[in-house]
Amino acid sequence: MRHVIIGAGIAGVTAAVTIKKYDKDAEVVLIGDERFFPYKRYLLTDFMNNSVKDENIFYTSEEFFAEHGIRFRKGERVKQISSQRKAIKFHHNEVLSYDKLLIATGGRPTLGPSLQPFQRYIQSYYTLQDVLLLKERLQTADVCIVSGEGLSTLDLIRGLRSLGKKVIYIVKEAEVNFPLIKTEFKEGIHEFLANKGVEIIVNDKIVAIEEKEAQFHVHTLNKLTIAADVVFAWEKYQPNLNCTRGCNIEKKEGILVDQRLRTSVEDIYAAGDCVEIYHPGIKDYWINFGWPNATQQGEVAGKNMLGMSVEYEIKETIPFNLFGKPLKARWWE
Amino acid sequence: MATQQIRKNQKEKTVAEQAKPPVAESIVVRLAGDSGDGMQVVGDRFADTCAMTGNDICTFPDFPSEIRAPAGSLPGVSGFQIHFGSKDVLTLGDFVDCLVVMNPAALKVNIHDLKKGGLLIVNSNSFEKANLQKAAYETNPLDDKQLYKKYDVVKINVIDIIKEALADSPLKTVEKVRCKNFFMLGLLYNIYSKSLEITEKWIRTKWKNRPEVAQANTTAMRRGFSYAQETGLTAKGAIVQRFSKGDGVYRKVNGNEAVALGLVAASENSWRDLFLGSYPITPASPILELLSKYKNFYVKTVQAEDEIAAVGAALGASYAGSLGVTTTSGPGLALKTETIGLAVMAELPLVIVNVQRGGPSTGLPTKTEQADLLQSMFGRNGEAPVPVLAASSARDCFDATIESCRIALKFRTPVILLTDSYIANGSETWRVPSPKEIPDISVEPIRHGEEYIPYKRDPETLARRLAIPGRPGFEHRIGGLEKAEDGSVSYDPLNHEKMVNLRAQKVENISKFIPKVEVYGDKKGDILVIGWGSTFGPIRTAVQNVRQNGHKIGHVQLRYIHPLQPGLKEAMDNFKTILVPEGNLGQLAFILRAKFLREVVTQSKVQGRNFIVSEIENKINEILNIS
């Protein structure tokens, strides 16, 4: 039986390893669109500020996949899924059939329509490739503008400050707009960041960026113009569903799956940041981001692809550490 | 009137019933004017309304090749003909029941196609001295009493009526006058009992950014409708009832649209992205324009810098795993010759759609002809056989396109699909097939770890296996130089002979995978009429007419010209005479003679026009010795 897994993040890798663990004869094809072996994405900021060595960021290698009997297809992108044909099509037009398919394409920060015209001026910060390029740029950069919400933003700010960069944080709301529980923060997060040397501009947003004299001039809604060496910005973190275009899999923000991570289409499963999982408690679907959640989902999906019957237990929070202080975030009220 | 079934029992009807126009089985209308008069626009609208109200239709726009010929001149005349009926409409109609002319030149060019006693509607405002001179009239033809004896002439001062109807419009006078085509359309809608609703909706969408223009055209059309009512023109018309073709979704489609849709369907059902490399050329350009709107179906279109680049890109895309297609017309096909030879040698799928036009060279860009058959068959260096198919009508273009793609993919060969200007521009009613009715034409992909020898062949089809270049384990070489089975260049004389024979045999073998020839009408008898392409409608109608007189006539319309469909020789052997009407000097006849060593009678027509039914009927009768 051929198990094809699209996406070589932690959910995909865990599913591949799980399948091989329980069925040594299974054929497992894992497809990743990055040109690296799968790495620990949560360490990217530490990798950026040089507190993690190159070799420690990778948890897989050629030997890893050989040892597990997984065929890893590195740097290849899937553009189409045909549930009728039970096959996928790569960007280079190759067609590969499957018996069971797992979509684990993750999510990524996206720009809203107002920022898209300025995409070429905005430094993306999501993949290892992004961080490798960024490390070069930061050697000569002093001032960084960061615009966006969420834990990844806070993590980036932490990394930039630890490198001694001046950080200007432009944010739409006066308070963080995602729910936080069980924090050790006595003051608000913005105040905490300000105490760490971050310049915060609230109730504002970037409306235009222009390149001028080797710098980027950021114009805001409140008519401020700020010069910076690097600009980071994103609107929201979204499931990556590109390869499902034209496929009849049910989806909203993410691919809709039940607690066994089955999609609406037979023999297709989905796990990780690209899914919305049915939550029996609220009788609705639920996005469960984060590395630990994706790991567990990968295992559940892998087992179910082998015919077992395992349900995923929804986690309501994502644990996080900001400048040494713990907080937990959750994605619902 | 093409109506043999007009009700004769008027006397038995009530007064109200008598006021209604008679019922006709089918009607032929032609609108003609200067190429700036908007005849194509309103002709197309009339056809749309007929199709959407349940008539079967066949249309043909006839326009000059110059973008803007001198206004009012004879070469600048543009026409649009529509044949609509409550029966299966297969032809454009030999003669016209109702002719609408906007100027003297249009009258001169078109009057000979109007039936005796037919309805002639004239925009008499334009029959003034300057226009008469441009049309080479020495006297005003509207003063000729013979005209009124031959035809039912209705003169209307359209410009005067339009100006009055649009007195309150904010448009400039010149813009108001442009609405005269919609006045004529409204007139026709009344005469043939059609509703204005569908066109009014279209006008609102078309000119949504210029509501004043939309309003003026609507007003002009309504004024035409009411004018016909007021002046009793309604009684000169006829009602053509709905044609029941069975359940389904119907739409109007022309040949180019059907080719474009067929390519999208073939792409979906082969699960290969469609790549169209094309260079604009009349009459094939609309296929490129249409396909550029289908990006959401993974369709890629490239308008290349010339014909050679277009086919080269298509072949490259095919090598990289797409469904590679190029569209062109005769002069373009000549330029693509070398690359088609490369596709033969490399044994890669490629579909070449040739929308034929009058030739040679630039020829008659906007007129139809079928004279590229031998070019398609033989126009390459070396032994380079290529399957050749021909679509027989606008709606057949859809199926013929999918079939061409199937053959190209299954046998890894270039395929030439022939259509022509007549079916490319002519529209018909088409039942849109459901996806389940469209065959799956996908090819089994090569599997990881499979041994790959580039020119190793399937024993049944003789087709080689395809592997997308660049994949680990499938590295290989193809190209224009002769190859050995493993893909290495080979100058070995015996290998060359073997490969030449294999390529030829592969194409010949296709005849085992295509349907047997079907004979319409009598299976044995006096004459078998064999046609290909757009001659289908006129031949079929002519054969139907002659068979009604008790003669034993059969008809075969060939979709597959190379290789020929199985069963053709046996079918021919059952008839005393073989007649081949074609829009060239006898190219299919040449092939049939060579292939079957059998004499065939050629009927040629190379006037930039398709056959009319009576021409073929007369030829059949001539062979039968019937005067």
What are the pLDDT digits (tens) for A159-173? Answer: 999 999 999 999 988
Q: How far apart are CA A19 and CA A22, in angstroms?
A: 5
Task: Tell me the nearest-neighbour CA distance from A79 into chain B, angstroms.
Answer: 10
Interface mutation target, options B318, B348, B468, B474, chain A, most CBs of A under 10 Å: B468
Nearest Cα neighbor of B455 from B491, B495, B415, B494 is: B495
**For range A70-88, the mean pLDDT:** 94
Q: What Cα–Cα distance (Å) separates residue B228 from each residue in B23, B127, B190, B220, B234?
A: 18, 21, 6, 12, 6
Q: How far apart are CA B482 and CA B500, in angstroms?
A: 9
Question: Which residues from B are below 8 Å from A92, CB to CB?
Answer: 320-321, 468, 470-471
Q: How many CB atoms lie within 10 A of CB B5?
A: 12
A315 shares contact with chain B (CB less than 8 Å): no
Q: How far apart are CA B413 and CA B507, in angstroms?
A: 8
CATH fold of A2-106+240-315 reads FAD/NAD(P)-binding domain (3.50.50)
Given this structure, which CATH class describes domain A109-236?
A: alpha beta
pLDDT of A187: 65
Nearest Cα neighbor of B297 from A245, A242, A97 is: A245
Q: What Cα–Cα distance (Å) separates residue B459 from each residue in A5, B349, B449?
A: 35, 18, 21
pLDDT of A5: 98
Q: Please check the confidence at residue A59 and state whether its pLDDT lies above 70.
A: yes
Kindly state the tokens that stand for B97. 């029941």
Report yes or no: A26 and A19 within 8 Å, Cβ to Cβ: yes
**Identity of residue B413:** T
pTM score: 0.85
Half-sphere exposure of residue B434: CA atoms within 13 angstroms, side-chain side? 3
What is the pLDDT confidence band of residue B481, given thresholds at 50, 70 and 90?
Answer: very high
* DSSP H or E run through B494: helix B493-509
Report yes or no: B533 and B391 within 8 Å, Cβ to Cβ: yes
B91 shares contact with chain A (CB less than 8 Å): no
Architecture of the B251-437 domain: 3-Layer(aba) Sandwich (3.40)
A71 shares contact with chain B (CB less than 8 Å): yes
Q: Do A85 and B448 touch (CB under 8 A)?
A: no
**Identity of residue A25:** D
Q: How far apart are CA B235 and CA B24, in angstroms?
A: 13
Q: Do B320 and A93 touch (CB under 8 A)?
A: yes
Cα dihedral A39, A41, A42, A46, rounded to 10, equals 80
A77 shares contact with chain B (CB less than 8 Å): no
Residue of A nearest to B323 (CA): A93
Local structure of residue B233 (DSSP, 8 states): G
Q: Nearest Cβ partner of A93 from B272, B296, B442?
A: B272
Q: Do A94 and B471 touch (CB under 8 A)?
A: yes
Question: Which residues from B are below 8 Å from A96, CB to CB?
Answer: 445, 448
What is the pLDDT confidence band of residue B13, given thresholds at 50, 70 and 90?
Answer: very low
B474 shares contact with chain A (CB less than 8 Å): no
Q: How many CB atoms lie within 10 A of CB B12?
A: 9
Q: How far apart are CA B26 and CA B85, in angstroms?
A: 4
Least confident of B48-52, B282-286, B298-302, B577-581: B48-52
Q: How far apart are CA B344 and CA B503, in angstroms?
A: 8
Question: Which residues from A are below 8 Å from B272, CB to CB?
Answer: 93
Question: Which residues from B are below 8 Å from A93, CB to CB?
Answer: 272-273, 320-322, 468
Q: Please check the confidence at residue A298 and state whether its pLDDT lies above 80.
A: yes
Nearest Cα neighbor of B259 from B384, B115, B157, B404 is: B404
Interacting residues of B494 by C-beta distance below 8 A, sequence separation 6+: none
Q: How many CB atoms lie within 10 A of CB B219?
A: 20
Q: Nearest Cβ partner of A93 from B322, B442, B448?
A: B322
Interacting residues of A134 by C-beta distance below 8 A, sequence separation 6+: A48, A123, A125, A230
What is the pLDDT confidence band of residue A327, given thresholds at 50, 70 and 90?
Answer: confident
Q: Do B273 and A93 touch (CB under 8 A)?
A: yes
Q: How many CB atoms lie within 10 A of CB A325?
A: 13
What are the pLDDT digits (tens) for B94-152? Answer: 999 999 999 999 999 999 999 999 999 999 999 999 999 999 999 999 999 999 999 99
Please report the DSSP string for B415-469 in residue order: EEEEEEHHHHH-EEEEEEPPGGGSPP---PPPPTT----TT-B-TTT-PBP---T
Kindly state the tokens that stand for A82. 């045909």
Q: CATH number of the domain at B520-623, please?
A: 3.40.50.920
Q: How far apart are CA B403 and CA B398, in angstroms?
A: 9
Q: Do B468 and A96 touch (CB under 8 A)?
A: no
Residue of A nearest to B275 (CA): A93
Kindly state the tokens that stand for B241. 């009832």
Domain residue spans in chain B? 10-240, 251-437, 520-623
Q: Do B271 and A87 touch (CB under 8 A)?
A: yes
Q: Please check the confidence at residue B68 and state whether its pLDDT lies above 90.
A: no
Question: Which residues from A are below 8 Å from B273, CB to CB?
Answer: 93
Please report the DSSP string for A224-288 in residue order: -EEEESEEEE-SEEEE--GGGTTS---BSSSEEE-TT-B-SSTTEEE-GGGEEEEETTTTEEE--
Kindly state the tokens that stand for A241. 């569903």
Q: Please check the confidence at residue B200 and state whether its pLDDT lies above 50.
A: yes
Q: Do A82 and B271 touch (CB under 8 A)?
A: yes
For chain B, the maximum distance between any two Cα atoms, rounded to a whole number of angstroms, is: 90
Interface mutation target, options A95, A96, A97, chain B, most CBs of B under 10 Å: A95
Q: Please check the confidence at residue A222 and state whether its pLDDT lies above 50.
A: yes
Nearest Cα neighbor of B171 from B205, B204, B210 is: B210
Q: How far apart are CA A125 and CA A108, in angstroms?
A: 9
CATH of B10-240, one of 3.40.920.10, 1.10.10.60, 2.130.10.10, 3.40.50.1970: 3.40.920.10
Interacting residues of B262 by C-beta distance below 8 A, sequence separation 6+: B397, B398, B399, B400, B401, B402, B405
Please report the DSSP string for B290-306 in residue order: HHTT-GGGTEEEEE-SS
**Which residues partner with B61 through β-bridges?**
B80
Domain residue spans in chain A? 2-106+240-315, 109-236
Q: What Cα–Cα distance (Å) separates residue A150 from each residue in A49, A161, A290, A319, B305?
A: 20, 17, 12, 13, 49
B295 shares contact with chain A (CB less than 8 Å): no
Question: Which residues from B are below 8 Å from A80, CB to CB?
Answer: 271, 298
pLDDT of A185: 67
Q: Nearest Cβ partner of A92 from B271, B298, B470?
A: B470
**For range B304-320, the mean pLDDT:** 97
Q: Do B321 and A71 touch (CB under 8 A)?
A: no
Report yes or no: B236 and B191 within 8 Å, Cβ to Cβ: yes
Q: Please check the confidence at residue B4 and state whether its pLDDT lies above 60.
A: no
pLDDT of B1: 42
In which residue are the tokens 């089975």 written? B485
A91 shares contact with chain B (CB less than 8 Å): no
Question: Which residues from A are below 8 Å from B442, CB to CB?
Answer: 85
Q: Nearest Cβ partner of B271 from A71, A92, A95?
A: A95
Question: Chains A and B: how many Cβ contacts under 8 Å?
Answer: 32
Please report the DSSP string for A17-72 in residue order: HHHHHH-TT-EEEEEESSSS--B-GGGHHHHHTTSS-HHHHB---HHHHHHHTEEE
**ipTM of the complex as predicted:** 0.72
Residue of B nearest to A247 (CA): B297
Q: Do A92 and B445 touch (CB under 8 A)?
A: no
Name the CA radius of gyration of chain A, rounded.
21
A201 shares contact with chain B (CB less than 8 Å): no
**Which residues partner with A97 through β-bridges?**
A87
Kindly state the tokens that stand for B451. 């041994």
B465 shares contact with chain A (CB less than 8 Å): no
Question: Which residues from A are below 8 Å from B271, CB to CB?
Answer: 80, 82, 85, 87, 89, 95
What is the pLDDT confidence band of residue A182, given thresholds at 50, 70 and 90?
Answer: low
Q: Please check the confidence at residue A205 and state whether its pLDDT lies above 80.
A: yes
Question: Which residues from A are below 8 Å from B298, CB to CB?
Answer: 79-80, 246
Interacting residues of A267 by C-beta distance below 8 A, sequence separation 6+: A83, A86, A98, A99, A100, A101
Q: How far apart are CA A314 and CA A280, in angstroms?
A: 10
Q: How far apart are CA A300 and CA A308, in angstroms?
A: 9
Q: Please check the confidence at residue A179 and state whether its pLDDT lies above 70.
A: no
Q: Do A92 and B468 touch (CB under 8 A)?
A: yes
B298 shares contact with chain A (CB less than 8 Å): yes
For chain A, the average pLDDT equals: 91
Q: Please check the confidence at residue B626 and state whether its pLDDT lies above 80.
A: no
Name the CA radius of gyration of chain B, rounded.
27
pLDDT of A235: 86
What SS3 state is found at B28? strand
What are the pLDDT digits (tens) for B380-431? Answer: 999 999 999 999 999 999 999 999 999 999 999 999 999 999 999 999 999 9
Q: Do A93 and B468 touch (CB under 8 A)?
A: yes
pLDDT of B70: 80
Q: Please check the confidence at residue B372 and state whether its pLDDT lies above 80.
A: yes
What are the pLDDT digits (tens) for A12-36? Answer: 999 999 999 999 999 999 999 999 9
A248 shares contact with chain B (CB less than 8 Å): no
Task: Tell me the nearest-neighbour CA distance from A80 into chain B, angstroms.
Answer: 10
Q: Do B448 and A71 touch (CB under 8 A)?
A: yes
Q: Nearest Cβ partner of B321 from A80, A94, A96?
A: A94
What is the pLDDT confidence band of residue B66, given thresholds at 50, 70 and 90?
Answer: low
Q: Nearest Cβ partner of A94 from B298, B442, B468?
A: B468
Q: Please check the confidence at residue A89 and state whether its pLDDT lies above 90.
A: yes
Residue of B nearest to A79 (CA): B298
